[in-house]
Amino acid sequence: MNDKETKIALVTGAGSGIGRAVALELLRTGWSVALAGRRPQTLEATAALADTRAGNSASFCVRADVSQPDDVAGLFAAVRERFGRLDLLFNNAGTFGPGGIPFEELPYDAWRHVVATNLDGAFLCAQAAYRQMKEQDPQGGRIINNGSISAHTPRPHSAAYTATKHALTGLTKSLSLDGRPYRIACGQIDIGNAATDMTERMRTGALQANGEVVPEPVMDVADVALTVRHMAELPLEANVQFATVLATTMPFIGRG
């Protein structure tokens, strides 16, 4: 990252959890950040948490549902109009979907909702970012996809979520290859048990592969944000292709 110029980031799912933590870390360290999500109130809450000077325009809230092509087109048009370029997309928006439902009972509508958010949304945002990074001057930028421990190993009753996260790994690899001629780097961060509202149930008990329900350790979400910033601030000649950040003693290595 060139300290002499402000870098521009877009964070999807910026209204809570990992997206909020990453957005705040980038804002804290001098980035300008577009905050995207479905709920304007939570985006504004993220912006209000940023430690910025009065009148600083470093954060910019845009309401968008990443599963909707028109919303994504409008989002990237708004970012281009506001900032003129894009240096980083943190492709973070996602959902677990309904929990605890056996595979044979999973409704198709629930499957489609998870696929639309986690995979279609990631594709739409990555494609829009890719087009902008290819066309802008100077050319290039970075896309970081939020994968998951489930991109490697599933939890029980998580077919939709696990399938989309495995697919996201393929998208990351393809983007990393296709972006080479245009100085577009793409990497993926796979996260295990960061302490957010989405993982609150881990502390009280999570279903294990052997059928037991046991509490799992979590880690500070700020440590995820630090890792994303490290990946983001590398020169485009270097790339963290895959990074796995997890609570040290969570049951992942040896899961099952």
Active site residues: 161
Q: How far apart are CA 178 and CA 114, in angstroms?
A: 26
CA angle at residue 149 from 147 to 155, to 5 degrees?
120
Upstream peptide bond of 138 is cis (omega within 30 degrees of 0): yes
Encode 3-17: b = buried (16+ Cβ within 10 Å), e = exposed.
eeeebbbbbbbbbbb
Structure tokens at 126: 């990555």
What is the helix (H) or strand (E) element at residue 95, kind and residue range?
none
Tokens in use for 117? 């958010």
